[in-house]
């Protein structure tokens, strides 16, 4: 019968009622207490709180003799980390502390010399590593190991168990503060001030005299960590400790297995007990746990249990199954899956640990992974696509003319650009992996080669792999993991929809994007960038004719040919979205973007359009602007050449009227003044009237404005009087608020972020302070002038969980993001409402 020990301050014996808290003692200590409460056979354990561990790291001391007294004389102990969350990791556990020459001798007599030697050597090895960073080698030669330790560390290996324990505790406490440990856990989501508790546990050796019963150790879990489906996974190894079974030769399978003996058959009672413990953990701790167990003289002990390590796919299924089994509420299942993690199941990714030579690095602009032949022009990408070959399109930066080639590519890589550059926006819409701003690469399209930052030369046609999650370019092919969307995914997101209170729409330009958006549960289209509809060869030719038209009649003829094409586009979008709202933005980019950029292209275009090359060159030059992003684009184009918007409005209205039940939303881009809205609104109303008259059907529509200039945000009150919705384009708004080109920022943003000038890339993470201030002002003024105005965000930030948090707090009605981001946004919105 063990007495209640007198422990030093900061140390607590874990009993069912002891005051153990995660915040103070860490998750492992708390979990052990829960296991004890469930009646599981957990060896005696003392928890040291984080304040004590921090004090030890600072050079303080604790009465380790008193701690050891809690375990009775001659007991060996293990020491394990207990941080706030198991995933944050921590220093490696130390087993068999308290081993010294005297105990070695006693144990040799009891369990045999070989086994005592192994236990002793194991302790020396881990002590030397955690206390002094000394590697004592692999051979179990105690005198040699002790000599190696003394030579490296300058003092003899301690024989006193209390000294050993004090050293190990201090070593583990200090290891927690090492810079690499900090970086590692920060990458796993730990906060800067994450603290470490420690647990000291009576050793159950797992090594002993077989005559007294079975000894050994193993781990068991009851679900598959990759799929989340029920499956008993683990191994057991006789005469072993800790997790040796997972590496050791001769380990037993857990369940009956044709490949070798199984715990279930050899020790059926142990197996049944473990199953019972697994069920208890699942139902009472409400989690799928991996149990670390040890047998000593035939008796079963549970040393530890941690949540099963799981892929995102498994996390989804485990959460959904626990909820459908009535163990946790549905809302809790929703909150257990991290929104950003969904990107892992929506896209292909590189198999963890797959390796491969990295030849370039840039900004991860669109998730996913793809392997394909390197191509350096959009035409080559198109040709590869036509041959059915996967290719990675590499460009200095992409231009609208590249869109066809981008559609054909399996991945897109650019040397320049940031997260809202053309390449990034298009790739996200298409769900293609994309890396931008890979400044270490240089291209020579003429020679058909790419030079990597390490000088390695890759020729067009060579295989490369793009990692859109990690922003890496890898030479050759590496194994990929396929995306996996199963019923658990759909179920969890349907639960998310039940609780969230902000809408989620998608940015879609093509029918296939709209189909993806609908499949991923978008409530509508929040932004259809119509300019993206003109980059197919036939359409581009007519668009160019329109641009080159000499007089209004010629222009009208070209526009009349574009009208049915656009009408068909909108008809298809309305049909796919089946009554859900569709917001169509009138043409935005400057006209010269529709023209070829080099002399050869202009000559070819002139020939195709039957115009003189000189005239084509002159017109292209006349349209060129020094700063096109701030030039004649958006509503400015609509006011300068109103026939374009007239044609688009007609196409929208004719498609809507033919469909019957659609209320299209027409959006005016790049507005900065109320008068711009009035001018465009009047012409659109006139088009609507004539379509109504011509088709003899009622036609409703909503007219809205994109708020993407700072002035529009500041004047949102008067603008809202003329607009039934305001959609904030945070790409341009960020660009204009910072005076920072979204296409050029990639060049220096990483150095800005590294030097702390900006906390983050503002095109990636919404700048809550500056751009956010404008959003708040715009939303507040817009609502004041028109209480029922619909407010939304449709820039690339729309799918970012932090931006959704911001939008919700600022009273926005919905966010709109690329189709593949829709599930992330739905889940993130639900988390905010729970």
User: Are the CB atoms for 526 and 814 separated by under 8 Å?
Assistant: yes
- Alpha carbons within 13 angstroms on the beta-carbon side of residue 392 total 32
CA distance 292 to 217: 8
Dihedral through CA 339, CA 343, CA 344, CA 349, nearest 10? -160
State the binding string over 522-541 for ligand PEP (x if CB under 6 A, else -).
-----x-x------------
User: Are the CB atoms for 214 and 83 separated by under 8 Å?
Assistant: no
Q: Is 730 annotated as a binding residue?
A: yes
CA distance 210 to 222: 29
Of the candidate residues 171, 431, 596, 729, the single one contacting ligand PEP (CB under 6 A): 729
Q: Is 279 helix (H, G, I), strand (E, B) or coil?
A: helix
- If the CB atoms of residues 282 and 742 are measured against ligand PEP, the closer one turns out to be 742
Q: Is 813 annotated as a binding residue?
A: no
Nearest-approach distance from CB 706 to Mg ion, in angstroms: 7
> Of residues 364-403, which lie at the interface with Mg ion (CB under 5 A)?
none
Nearest-approach distance from CB 730 to Mg ion, in angstroms: 9
Which two structure tokens, joined as six digits, stand for 563? 């009208």
Q: Is 708 annotated as a binding residue?
A: yes
- If the CB atoms of residues 365 and 373 are measured against ligand PEP, the closer one turns out to be 365
Of the candidate residues 467, 732, 743, 800, the single one contacting ligand PEP (CB under 6 A): 732
- If the CB atoms of residues 296 and 730 are measured against ligand PEP, the closer one turns out to be 730
- Alpha carbons within 13 angstroms on the beta-carbon side of residue 486 total 15
* CB proximity list for 649: less than 8 A, separation 6 or greater: 586, 666, 683, 684, 687, 688
Q: Which residue is nearest to ligand PEP (CB)?
A: 729
Q: Is 604 helix (H, G, I), strand (E, B) or coil?
A: helix
- If the CB atoms of residues 28 and 742 are measured against ligand PEP, the closer one turns out to be 742
User: Are the CB atoms for 214 and 298 separated by under 8 Å?
Assistant: yes
Nearest-approach distance from CB 634 to ligand PEP, in angstroms: 8
Say how many residues touch ligand PEP, by CB under 6 A.
11
> Of residues 567-606, which lie at the interface with ligand PEP (CB under 6 A)?
588
Comparing CA positions, the residue from 60, 96, 67 lying closest to residue 79 is 96
Crossing angle of helices 537-548 and 599-609, in 10° steps, is: 80
Q: Is 816 helix (H, G, I), strand (E, B) or coil?
A: strand
- If the CB atoms of residues 313 and 529 are measured against ligand PEP, the closer one turns out to be 529
What size, in residues, is the chain? Answer: 834
509 is a site residue for ligand PEP (CB under 6 A): no
Of the candidate residues 708, 717, 761, 767, the single one contacting ligand PEP (CB under 6 A): 708
- If the CB atoms of residues 32 and 419 are measured against ligand PEP, the closer one turns out to be 419
Nearest-approach distance from CB 794 to ligand PEP, in angstroms: 5
> Of residues 296-335, which lie at the interface with ligand PEP (CB under 6 A)?
none
Name the residue with tokens 């909108």: 570
Nearest-approach distance from CB 732 to Mg ion, in angstroms: 4
Say how many residues touch Mg ion, by CB under 5 A.
3
Nearest-approach distance from CB 793 to ligand PEP, in angstroms: 8
569 is a site residue for Mg ion (CB under 5 A): no
Q: How many helices (H) and strands (E) does the chain have?
A: 34, 30
398 is a site residue for ligand PEP (CB under 6 A): no
- If the CB atoms of residues 365 and 484 are measured against Mg ion, the closer one turns out to be 365
H/E element, 364: strand 363-366
> Of residues 786-805, which lie at the interface with ligand PEP (CB under 6 A)?
794-795
Per DSSP (E only), the strands in 17-104 are 45-48, 77-83, 94-97
429 is a site residue for ligand PEP (CB under 6 A): no
From the list 42-50, 460-468, 678-686, 702-710, the region that binds Mg ion by CB under 5 A is 702-710
Exposure string for 206-232, b = 16+ CB within 10 A, e = fewer: bbbeeeeebbbbbbbbbbbbebbeeeb
Q: Is 84 annotated as a binding residue?
A: no
668 binds, among Mg ion, ligand PEP, none (CB under 5 to 8 A by kind): none
- If the CB atoms of residues 81 and 772 are measured against ligand PEP, the closer one turns out to be 772
- Alpha carbons within 13 angstroms on the beta-carbon side of residue 38 total 22
> Of residues 704-743, which lie at the interface with Mg ion (CB under 5 A)?
708, 729, 732
Residue 19's CB is within 10 A of a number of other CB atoms, namely: 11
Q: Which residues pair with 260 in a beta bridge?
A: 257
- If the CB atoms of residues 467 and 708 are measured against Mg ion, the closer one turns out to be 708
Strands lying side by side in the sheet with 457-459:
442-444, 449-451, 457-459
Nearest-approach distance from CB 522 to Mg ion, in angstroms: 20
795 binds, among Mg ion, ligand PEP, none (CB under 5 to 8 A by kind): ligand PEP
The catalytic site residues sit at: 422, 794
Nearest-approach distance from CB 723 to Mg ion, in angstroms: 16
Q: What are phi and psi of 492, to 5 degrees?
A: -60, -40
State the binding string over 645-684 for Mg ion (x if CB under 5 A, else -).
----------------------------------------
214 binds, among ligand PEP, Mg ion, none (CB under 5 to 8 A by kind): none
Nearest-approach distance from CB 546 to Mg ion, in angstroms: 22
768 binds, among ligand PEP, Mg ion, none (CB under 5 to 8 A by kind): none
Nearest-approach distance from CB 814 to ligand PEP, in angstroms: 14
- If the CB atoms of residues 337 and 419 are measured against ligand PEP, the closer one turns out to be 419
- If the CB atoms of residues 274 and 766 are measured against Mg ion, the closer one turns out to be 766
Burial of 296 (0-12, 13-18, 19+ CB in 10 A): buried
Of the candidate residues 730, 790, 792, 818, the single one contacting ligand PEP (CB under 6 A): 730
Nearest-approach distance from CB 794 to Mg ion, in angstroms: 9
CA distance 446 to 323: 59
Comparing CA positions, the residue from 456, 431, 451, 428 lying closest to residue 441 is 451
Which two structure tokens, joined as six digits, stand for 519? 């499949």
Q: Is 446 annotated as a binding residue?
A: no
CA distance 621 to 623: 5
* CB proximity list for 35: less than 8 A, separation 6 or greater: 42, 281, 302, 305
H/E element, 145: helix 142-153
CA distance 13 to 544: 80
819 is a site residue for Mg ion (CB under 5 A): no
710 is a site residue for ligand PEP (CB under 6 A): no
User: Are the CB atoms for 528 and 508 separated by under 8 Å?
Assistant: yes
Crossing angle of helices 730-738 and 771-785, in 10° steps, is: 120
CA distance 151 to 148: 5
Distances (CA, A) of 440 to 9, 211, 363: 55, 66, 12
527 binds, among Mg ion, ligand PEP, none (CB under 5 to 8 A by kind): ligand PEP
731 is a site residue for ligand PEP (CB under 6 A): yes
Crossing angle of helices 113-132 and 161-176, in 10° steps, is: 40
From the list 180-188, 407-415, 434-442, 729-737, the region that binds ligand PEP by CB under 6 A is 729-737
- Per the annotation, where are the binding residues for substrate? 529, 585, 708, 729-732
Note the residues at the interface with Mg ion (CB under 5 A).
708, 729, 732
- Per the annotation, where are the binding residues? 529, 585, 708, 729-732
- Per the annotation, where are the binding residues for Mg(2+)? 708, 732
Note the residues at the interface with ligand PEP (CB under 6 A).
425, 527, 529, 588, 708, 729-732, 794-795
């Amino acid at each position: 019968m063990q007495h209640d020990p007198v422990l030093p301050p900061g140390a607590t014996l874990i009993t069912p009622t002891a005051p153990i808290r995660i915040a103070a003692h860490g998750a492992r200590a708390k979990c052990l207490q829960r296991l004890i409460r469930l009646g599981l056979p957990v060896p005696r354990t003392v928890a040291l709180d984080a304040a004590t561990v921090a004090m030890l790291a600072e050079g303080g001391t604790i009465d380790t003799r008193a701690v050891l007294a809690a375990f009775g004389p001659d007991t060996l102990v293990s020491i394990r980390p207990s941080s706030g969350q198991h995933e944050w990791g921590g220093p490696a556990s130390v087993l068999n502390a308290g081993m010294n020459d005297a105990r070695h001798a006693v144990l040799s007599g009891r369990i045999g010399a070989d086994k005592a030697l192994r236990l002793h050597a194991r302790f020396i090895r881990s002590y030397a590593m955690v206390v002094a960073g000394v590697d004592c080698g692999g051979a179990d030669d105690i005198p040699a190991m002790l000599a190696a330790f003394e030579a490296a560390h300058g003092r003899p290996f301690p024989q006193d168990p209390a000294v050993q324990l004090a050293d190990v505790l201090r070593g583990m406490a200090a290891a927690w503060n090492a810079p690499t440990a900090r970086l590692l856990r920060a990458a796993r989501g730990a906060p800067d001030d994450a603290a470490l508790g420690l647990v000291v546990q009576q050793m159950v050796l797992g090594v002993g005299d077989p005559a007294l019963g079975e000894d050994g150790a193993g781990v068991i879990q009851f679900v598959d960590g990759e799929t989340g489906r029920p499956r008993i996974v683990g191994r057991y190894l006789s005469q072993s400790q800790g997790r040796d079974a997972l590496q050791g030769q001769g380990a037993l399978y857990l369940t009956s297995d044709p490949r070798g003996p199984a715990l279930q058959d050899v020790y059926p009672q142990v197996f049944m007990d473990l199953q019972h413990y697994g069920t208890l953990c699942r139902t009472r701790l409400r989690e799928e746990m991996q149990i670390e167990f040890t047998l000593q003289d035939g008796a079963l002990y549970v040393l530890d249990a941690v949540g099963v390590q799981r892929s995102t796919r498994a996390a989804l299924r485990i959460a959904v199954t626990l909820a459908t089994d009535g163990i946790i509420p549905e809302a809790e299942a929703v909150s257990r899956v991290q929104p950003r993690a969904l990107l892992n199941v929506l896209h292909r990714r590189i198999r963890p640990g797959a390796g491969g030579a990295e030849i370039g690095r840039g900004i991860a602009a669109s998730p996913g992974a793809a392997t394909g032949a390197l191509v350096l022009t959009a035409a080559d990408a198109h040709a590869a696509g036509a041959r059915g070959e996967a290719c990675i399109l590499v460009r200095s930066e992409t231009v609208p003319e590249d869109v066809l080639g981008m559609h054909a590519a399996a991945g897109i890589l650019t040397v320049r650009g940031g997260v809202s550059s053309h390449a990034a926006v298009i790739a996200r819409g298409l769900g293609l992996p994309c890396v931008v701003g890979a400044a270490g690469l240089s291209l020579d399209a003429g020679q058909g080669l790419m030079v990597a930052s390490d000088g390695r030369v890759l020729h067009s046609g060579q295989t490369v792999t793009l990692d859109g999650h990690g922003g890496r370019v890898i030479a050759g092919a590496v194994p990929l993991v396929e995306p996996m969307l199963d019923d658990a995914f759909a179920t969890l997101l349907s639960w998310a929809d039940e609780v969230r209170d902000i809408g989620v729409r998608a940015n879609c330009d093509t029918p296939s994007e709209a189909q993806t958006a609908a499949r991923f549960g978008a409530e509508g289209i929040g932004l259809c960038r119509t300019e993206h509809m003109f980059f197919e060869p036939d359409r581009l030719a007519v668009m160019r004719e329109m641009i080159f038209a000499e007089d209004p009649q010629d222009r009208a003829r070209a526009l009349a040919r574009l009208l049915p094409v656009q009408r068909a586009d909108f008809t298809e979008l309305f049909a796919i979205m089946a009554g859900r709202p569709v917001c169509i933005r009138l043409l935005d980019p400057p006209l010269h973007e529709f023209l070829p950029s080099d002399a050869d292209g202009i000559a070819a275009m002139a020939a195709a359009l039957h115009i003189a090359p000189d005239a084509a060159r002159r017109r292209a030059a006349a349209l060129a602007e020094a700063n096109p992003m701030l030039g004649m684009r958006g509503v400015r184009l609509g006011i300068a050449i109103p026939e374009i918007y007239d044609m688009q409005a007609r196409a929208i209205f004719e498609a809507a009227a033919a469909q019957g039940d659609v209320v299209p939303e027409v959006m005016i881009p790049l507005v900065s003044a109320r008068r711009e809205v009035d001018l465009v609104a009047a012409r659109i109303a006139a088009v609507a009237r004539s379509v109504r008259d011509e088709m003899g059907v009622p036609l409703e529509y909503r007219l809205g404005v994109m708020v993407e200039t700072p002035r529009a945000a500041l004047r949102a009150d008067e603008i809202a009087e003329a607009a039934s919705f305001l959609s904030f384009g945070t790409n341009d708004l960020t660009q204009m608020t910072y005076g920072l080109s979204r296409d050029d920022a990639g060049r220096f943003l990483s150095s800005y972020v590294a030097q702390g000038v900006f906390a983050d890339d503002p095109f990636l993470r919404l700048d809550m302070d500056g751009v956010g201030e404008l959003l708040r002002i715009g939303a507040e003024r817009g609502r004041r002038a028109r209480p029922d105005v619909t407010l939304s965000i449709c820039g690339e930030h729309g799918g970012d969980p932090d931006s959704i948090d911001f939008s919700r707090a600022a009273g926005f009605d919905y966010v709109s993001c690329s189709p593949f981001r829709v599930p992330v946004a739905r889940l993130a919105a639900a988390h905010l409402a729970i």
